[in-house]
Amino acid sequence: MRVALLVKNKLGFVDGTSVKSSYIGDLATKWERCNAVVVSWPSSTVSAELVPSITYASSARKVWAEFKERFDKDNLTRIYQLWTEIATLRQGTDSVTSYFSKLKDPWDELDILAPLPSCDCEESRPYVEHLVRQRLLQFLMGLNGSYSHVRSDVLLKRPVLSVN
């Protein structure tokens, strides 16, 4: 939803940077109309029991804040499920490309639930390097035995390769 709002140049209606009091006259009326449009967008995508909390909302910002409070939690259960999926995933009869894609999906979701440090600073570099190595090892652990020679070659490479 955040990306969709950003693309349509409407993110300000939910993050508080576009407030009605900043506009007067016709612009205030246009702000009201845009706000109503932004409020209506989630109505078509959320479950039926959430629609009333959107319908009677006075601003997109209030809807966003309420949903953020209700649903934007650190979801340790989901993180556990993702780690279990990653730890138990094996190549099996899949191609290497298909196996990698099956690993990449939970990794991508983990990156959203437990994001990397956002700075490119010296302090975060060891953490990022550790994650790169960890993902390479996870990938190699799930490869079929027929790739044992490739696995050994990859593990001996310096500098350490990324899983990509």
CB contact set of 29 (below 8 Å; sequence gap of 6+): none
State which amino acid sits at residue 159: P
pLDDT of residue 74: 66
Encoding tokens for residue 21?
Answer: 């009091």
How high is the pLDDT of residue 83?
95
- Kindly tell me if the per-residue pLDDT of 29 is higher than 80: yes
Structure tokens of 87? 């730890």
How many whole angstroms separate alpha carbon 143 and alpha carbon 153? 14
Q: Supply the pLDDT for residue 66.
A: 86
Q: What digits encode the pLDDT tens for the residues 112-131?
A: 888 877 777 888 888 888 99
* 67-110 per-position pLDDT tens digit: 888 877 667 888 999 999 999 999 999 999 999 999 999 999 99
Q: Residue 64: which of 26, 114, 18, 112 has the closest Cα?
A: 18
The CA dihedral of 54, 36, 14, 19, to the nearest 10 degrees, is: -130
C-alpha triplet 21, 52, 109: angle, nearest 5°: 85
pTM (2 d.p.): 0.59
In terms of phi and psi (left: phi > 0; alpha: psi -120 to 50; beta: otherwise), the region of 92 is: left
The tokens describing 42, both together, are: 């989630």
Q: Give percent of the chain above pLDDT 70.
A: 99
Q: In residues, how long is the chain?
A: 164
28 or 118, greater pLDDT: 28
The predicted structure's pLDDT at residue 80: 93
Report the pLDDT value the prediction gives residue 117, as an integer from 0 to 100. 77
User: How far apart, in whole angstroms, are the C-alpha atoms of residue 143 and residue 152?
Assistant: 12
Joined tokens for residue 161: 């390769």
d(CA 29, CA 35): 10
